[in-house]
């Protein structure tokens, strides 16, 4: 495929290893060919890498299959998932999920990418609903302004929320950015 066709979340094969594109920066200098700077993450070990290409360069796209699996639990340095069709359990190294793991809640269904029979990536749902476990106390005057406070969620993630959110509330969080979307209710 042509480098100009590469977008965020495209899977590429580089030096015999699969990578996912996390960011594409396009630069058109005054002279010469355009430059594409890619920020990549190795799908096997989670290591980050930056590569520069020129317009017209070609890259190899990786063919992967997607399966829906349910997150069961974390164990040592691994996460355990169950295939929704075959009920087989699979383990994934914590490094492969990285910082996105703070949004994994037991029982959530995720899309798992498989290449040559090996799990290479986990795509979380775009939004998850999580309960607020700890919240800083706000005074009456704090609600006059639209300031945010940090709360800790049931999975251990910390998110900035409006002052009216309190312990026990259930909020919707965008897993791509790690930001608060809305309050959806309260946990009983």
Architecture of domain 127-186: Beta Barrel (2.40)
- Asked if residues 125 and 110 have their Cβ atoms less than 8 Å apart, the reply is yes
Instruction: Confirm or reject CATH 2.30.110.10 for domain 3-61, answering yes or no.
Output: no
- 103 phi and psi, to 5 degrees? -105, 5
Tokens of 117: 């029979």
Q: What is the pLDDT of residues 15-51, one digit of tens each?
A: 888 898 999 999 988 888 889 999 998 887 778 899 9
Give the architecture (CATH level 2) of 65-123. Answer: Beta Barrel (2.40)
Q: Are strands 148-153 and 158-162 parallel, antiparallel or unpaired?
A: antiparallel
65-123 with 127-186: one CATH topology? yes
pLDDT above 70 (res 88)? yes
Predicted TM-score (pTM) of the model is: 0.66
Those residues with Cβ within 8 angstroms of residue 17's Cβ, 6 or more apart along the chain or in another chain: 42, 43, 44
Domain ranges of the chain: 3-61, 65-123, 127-186
The contacts of residue 130 (CB under 8 Å, 6+ apart) are 103, 105, 153, 154, 155, 157, 170, 171, 173
The per-residue pLDDT for 99 is 81
Q: What is the pLDDT of residues 122-147, one digit of tens each?
A: 888 999 999 999 887 766 555 556 67
* Res 44: pLDDT: 77
185/93 Cα distance (integer angstroms)? 33
Residue 84 in contact with residue 109, Cβ under 8 Å?
Answer: yes
């Amino acid at each position: 495929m042509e480098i100009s066709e590469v977008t965020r979340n495209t899977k590429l094969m580089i030096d015999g290893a699969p990578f996912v594109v996390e960011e594409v920066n396009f630069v058109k200098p005054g002279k010469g060919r355009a430059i594409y700077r890619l920020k990549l993450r190795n799908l096997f070990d989670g290591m980050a890498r930056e590569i520069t290409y020129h317009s017209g360069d070609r890259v190899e796209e990786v063919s992967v299959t997607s399966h829906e699996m349910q997150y069961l639990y974390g164990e040592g340095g691994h996460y355990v998932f169950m295939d929704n069709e075959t009920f087989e359990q699979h383990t994934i190294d914590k490094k492969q999920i990285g910082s996105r793991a703070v949004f994994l809640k037991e029982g959530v269904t995720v899309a798992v990418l498989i290449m040559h029979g090996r799990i290479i990536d986990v795509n979380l749902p775009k939004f998850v609903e999580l309960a607020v476990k700890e919240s800083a106390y706000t005074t009456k005057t704090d609600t006059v302004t639209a300031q945010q406070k940090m709360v800790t969620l049931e999975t251990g993630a910390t998110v900035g929320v409006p002052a009216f959110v309190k312990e026990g509330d259930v909020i919707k969080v965008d897993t791509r950015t790690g930001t608060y979307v809305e309050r959806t209710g309260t946990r009983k």
